[in-house]
Amino acid sequence: MCRPLPSEGSAGISEGSDWEGSDSEGVSSYLIFWLYPVFGIRGASWFLGVSEWLFGALLFLGFWNKKAGMLGAIGSCVTFIGTVTIIPFMPNGWAASAGGFPAMAGNVPFLMKDIVLFAASVYLLKQDVMRVSLSAAQKQDAGAWVHSR
């Protein structure tokens, strides 16, 4: 799970961003529409790329720190929801020659993988929440045992 985030982040940060040079006019979603007026296309790519690297690092740190893992999982869930909401607004995203939906074209197949990565992020979040709550319950039980003696 840590590997896809940094590789996507690198794609967003690189000189040849996947949005530049493509038919990206009007491509946005309800969750990330504000990035383009605030940062521009290049700045939005940098913002998304850096945030994906940050969330990937937090997921990796989650092996040792449960709360960092939770933050990384929450951040990656938000990131993947944001990128999946681009799909309905992608121009020429469905191959008209094949009858349209569900035949994908352009960047839609690339973005579809985010649905699976979103599911993996939800699973990791669930696991981290269970680890934190179990740890808290064990500490509470240990404290009750010490006080009862």
The per-residue pLDDT for 5 is 57
11 close to 17: Cβ distance less than 8 angstroms: yes
pLDDT tens for the chain, 149 residues long, are 555 555 555 455 444 444 444 444 455 677 778 888 898 889 988 988 899 899 999 999 998 998 899 999 999 999 888 888 888 877 777 777 777 677 777 778 888 888 999 999 999 999 989 988 888 777 776 665 555 55
The per-residue pLDDT for 74 is 95
The per-residue pLDDT for 73 is 94
pTM: 0.68
92 close to 105: Cβ distance less than 8 angstroms: yes
Q: What gap in Å lies between CA 121 and CA 1, rounded to an integer?
A: 8
Q: How many CA atoms lie within 13 Å of 63's alpha carbon, on the beta-carbon side?
A: 6
Short-list 7, 8, 1, CA closest to 62: 1
Q: What gap in Å lies between CA 39 and CA 31, rounded to an integer?
A: 15
